Structure 1
Amino acid sequence: MKKLMCLTIAALTVVACIQEPKDYVMFSGKITNQSSDSLVIRSNTDINFQKRITVAADGTFSDTLKVVTGSFYVYDGTERTSLYLKNGRDVHLTLDTKQFDETVVYTGSGADANNYLAKKALDQEALFKDETMFAMIKEDFAAKLETIESGFMKNLDGVSGLDTAFVASEKKGFDELKKYLVSYQEDKFFLNTVLGKGKNSPKFMAYENNAGGKTSLDDLKGKYVYIDVWATWCGPCIAEIPYLKEVEKTYHSKNIQFVSLSIDEPKDYDKWKSMIKEKELGGIQLLADKAWKSEFVKNYRINGIPRFILIDPKGNIITSDAPRPSDKKLKDMFNSLSI
């Protein structure tokens, strides 16, 4: 009887030691040179999921998240990095905001998938910085793309223990990236050849001028022309306005015209007029005749805004994709042209 009781107690002890799987993610870490007092976690698929995590003065943080397995972003100020989260895992993140992407390191359960994502982000950043690749002819670019795909598959296959759903999602994402790269290369090649330096610029004719009357590109010959293609609904466009004002002020008396060309739809006409007044926009404020369908916009292959163009006094293209006002390279370019 005594032996039976001991066995029963032992069995109960074993049962007591078996823990139920956690129905949440433990997310912790340390941020060096933190840029805010909190992190924000957002789902890549569920717009309603958002969690704010407090970061202590020493940069440490720790919290739990109940999630639906999938992709997320963690934001520190304006910077972000990818996360793959699944309930039951314990994910630890360290990074230094001074070199954000380069210092992202994950440890703990689920670290392999997230370290893979961090490396992928760096690889893709380097990819888009490789201007020589996008200047290739179509056949050479296709061969380059095969090499990139091979490297992607090697990196993905080299990570053990990945969920099948994660692997499938990554492969689907890369297929989408390939399609985008092909389109991006075609546009870049077109800009570097048909719209390359020294080519005659496509023209716009009789666009409405906020100051009154109509303005055509030919009216501006004799001066350099820096064109900002924008719209009132475009957040990144609005963010460039303070920098554009500063550049305009610096080169106010120089041999250059600053043109802000809105591609707002007719329904936003009053909004366009109001924003010019409210934000005290300078330069020449024009409204494209057919928004995205305007010939000038189509001829320059403008698929995203803001887009900046620099034209010389003779009406020839200097660059069909000029630096933004917030980029110090713009003033370097102006100075190199003795504007």
Structure 2
Amino acid sequence: MRSIIPILLAFFVASCTQKEVKKEYTIVSGKLSNSDIETVRLISINGDFNMEIPVSKEGQFLDTLFLTADMPHRLTDGINHIVLYLEKGYTVHLDYNLRDFANTIQFEGDGADLNRYYLQKQDKNREIEGMDFETFYGLEEPAFIKKVEELNLAINGLLDSTVNIPEYVREKEQRAIDHYSIIQLAQYKDFAHADVTANPNFTVSENFQDERSGMSFLNEEDFDYSVFYNSLVHLHYKEQIKQRAQKDSLADPNEVFFQVVGEIPVENIKNSVLYRTVWGSMPYIQNVDSYYEKFMSLSTNETHKQEITDAYNRIKKIKPGANSPTFEAYENHAGGHSSLEDFQGKYVYIDVWASWCAPCIKEIPDLKEVEKKYRGKNIEFLSISVDTDRSYDDWKKMVVDKELTGVQLIADKAWDSEFIKDYQIKGIPRYILIDPEGKIVNAMAPSPSVDKLDTTLEALDL
């Protein structure tokens, strides 16, 4: 008996000291002051997890989540966007004033130090890089490289000074910092400097460092952690598709796309490149049925397949001659609210835009000219802004400053407005033409700056 007791004791001690089994769920809670919002949205970095969480009248929310993977997530209230690192088993709480986010945000629970680091990293980016794309990418090459290096050193120093970050996360974050530098340099080289300086012949110097040539674009771990690596991967395959299409000028570009993506050996990377491209391009595809079927045959991600199916079904409903999706009680800049049915009996040309959208603003002078030419005719010109709460004041001001004509409305939920989703609007500006009976003439109408619009409108019985 004496020989058995130590064995039993050892077994008991070992059992008691075994690592606690990791919970399969994550608890996220928060308290928002100065808030009247009804929901917040939590989205994983890979987009597989996307969920609305109800917010009480007191500004509180709490939910038990079953995440798809351990990774950074983005929580948004419509004004503020917060990066949260979440793992199965984590309990996370945040507290802030909706209208004074920067001075009031507090994190508690698991990952609090890491989440504070993410916030400080954003602030450091703004401090060094600035908020103006044109100023940053307009720098001359030596100054730009110096700025990128300065930012890289500053963020690495911030990471080094932050305690309580799991080592396996710290290693991924260190690579993510480098990925950000790589993508900044890549954008500068490929298009950004040429665009902002209006110099299409710009080329970087022979010594310009482009680390993409030595990179692997099949790192699943980094793909699920870093938005910067994620973007580099998407850019890489976009270039692969372009190069293969150029080799065979007679090939269908869509078939080339599916061939290249179908060859990606890492499943979640293949699914992501496939989904992101199809999600953005499907509204513009002529033979949408075969495009959709090809996507469904290649994707193995059920979340992606459901979302693309929903988009496909919406697209099928916005063919010429179909009843137009409607909107109700959109705020009218001139006062009150307007609904689409208010304009029944007239043709309606709709411009979907936002105050921050440079291509949209570029179209404004031409839109004014078109409105002026057809003034008094049986057509109404509506501009619907998808500005969020954050840029609402910018919308109000821009309508006045640019003396915008026509009917100026703002969508009730920005990009999440049902009218915007029904028309599958993925990018702006977007133009829509509806007839006096409320039927779709063209869900992808010509823009004001092209002659085709004038031809289209002249053919109508105005």
TM class by shorter chain equals 0.5 to 0.7
1:265 and 2:403 correspond: no
The separation in 2 between residues aligned to 1:184 and 1:271, in whole angstroms, is 26
Q: 1:69 aligns with which of 195, 210, 224?
A: 210
Q: Distance in 2 between matches of 1:124 and 1:308?
A: 33
* Structure 1 residue 231 displacement after superposition: 0.7
Question: 1:241: Cα distance to partner?
Answer: 0.8
**Cα distance in 2, alignment partners of residues 124 and 46 from structure 1:** 31
Q: 1:61 to 1:174 in 2, by over 3 A?
A: same
Structure 1 residue 294 corresponds to structure 2 residue 417:
yes
Q: Select which of 323, 333, 351 maps to 1:210.
A: 333
Q: 1:234 aligns with which of 357, 369, 373?
A: 357
The 3-state SS of whatever aligns with 1:264 is coil
Structure 1 residues 259 and 175: CA distance shift in structure 2, 3 A: same
Aligned to 1:112: none
Structure 2 length-normalised TM: 0.41
Match of 2:376 among 250, 253, 256: 253
User: Structure 1 residues 198, 123: CA separation in 2 closer, same or farther (over 3 Å shift)?
Assistant: farther
1:303-333, Cα deviation, whole Å (9 max, x unpaired) = 2111111100001111112111112211111
Query: Larger helix proportion, structure 1 or 2?
Result: 2
- Say whether 1:201 aligns with 2:342: no
Matched residue, 1:46 = 184
Q: How do residues 1-339 of structure 1 correspond to structure 2 at under 5 angstroms?
A: 45-47=183-185, 64-70=205-211, 119-120=243-244, 145=255, 148-150=257-259, 178-184=274-280, 186-188=282-284, 189=288, 190=312, 193-339=316-462
How many Å apart are 1:46 and its aligned residue? 2.3
Look up the equivalent residue of 1:179 and give its one-letter code.
Y
Q: Quick one: distance in 2 between partners of 1:335 and 1:291?
A: 32
Q: Per-residue deviation at 1:197?
A: 0.7
Deviation at 1:67, TM superposition (A): 2.1
Q: How far, CA to CA, are the matches of 1:237 and 1:121 in structure 2?
A: 30
Match for 1:69: what amino acid? D
- SS of aligned partner of 1:65: coil
CA 126–333 in structure 1, closer or farther in 2 if over 3 Å, else same: farther
Q: 1:180 offset after TM fit, Å?
A: 3.7
Q: Percent identity?
A: 41
Cα distance 1:300–1:67, how it changes in 2: closer, same or farther (>3 A)? same
Q: 1:250: how far off?
A: 1.5
Call closer, same or farther: CA 1:214–1:50 in 2, change over 3 Å.
closer
Gaps of 5+ in 2: 1-139, 145-180, 195-200, 215-238, 289-311
From the superposition, tell whether residues 220 and 180 of structure 1 become closer, same or farther in structure 2 (CA, over 3 Å).
same
Q: What's the CA shift string for 1:112-151, capped at 9, x where partnerless?
A: xxx99975575799989x7xx6xxxxxxxxxxx4x6554x
* Distance of 1:49 and 1:305 partners within structure 2: 21
Structure 1 stretches lacking a partner, 5+ long: 1-39, 54-59, 72-83, 86-114, 134-144, 157-166
Higher relative contact order (CA 8 A, sep 6+): 1
Residues 208-242 of structure 1: per-residue CA shift (max 9 Å, x gap): 11111111100001110011111101111111111
Which protein has the bigger strand share?
1
Give per-residue Cα distances to partners, 1:143-175, cap 9 Å, x unaligned: xx4x6554x59xx9xxxxxxxxxx99xxx9987
Counterpart residue identity of residue 275, structure 2: K
> 1: distance between equivalents of 2:202 and 2:414?
47
Helix, strand or coil at the partner of 2:278: helix
Letter in 2 for 1:326: S
SS at match of 2:184: coil
Tell me, what secondary structure is at the counterpart of 2:183?
A: coil
Q: Which amino acid in the other structure matches residue 209 of structure 2?
A: V
Task: Say which SS state the counterpart of residue 45 (structure 1) adopts.
Answer: helix
Distance 2:281 2:211 in 1: 30
Structure 2 Cα separation of the partners of residues 315 and 117 of structure 1:
40
The Cα RMSD (Å) is 4.4
* Cα distance in 1 between the residues matched to 2:449 and 2:248: 23
Q: Deviations over 1:18-47 (max 9, x none)?
A: xxxxxxxxxxxxxxxxxxxxxx98997225
- Residues of 1 paired with 2:456 and 2:389: CA distance? 35
In the alignment, the residues of structure 2 paired with residue 231 and residue 183 of structure 1 have an alpha-carbon distance, to the nearest angstrom, of 21
Kept in 1: contact 2:182–2:210 (CA 8 A) = no
> CA–CA distance in 1 between the matches of 2:393 and 2:346?
30
Alpha-carbon distance in 1 for matches of 2:320, 2:370: 23
SS at match of 1:200: coil
Give deviations 1:79-111, integer Å, cap 9, x for gaps.
xxxxx79xxxxxxxxxxxxxxxxxxxxxxxxxx
Partner SS for 1:247: helix
Count of residue pairs brought into register by the alignment: 229
Measure, in 1, the Cα distance between the counterparts of 2:358 and 2:248: 24
State the one-letter code of the partner of 1:325. Answer: P
Instruction: Give the 3 Å change call, closer, same or farther, for CA 322–174 of structure 1 in structure 2.
Output: farther
Provide, for residues 232-274 of structure 1, a one-character-per-residue CA deviation record: whole Å limited to 9, x for no partner. 0111111111111111111112211000001111232221111
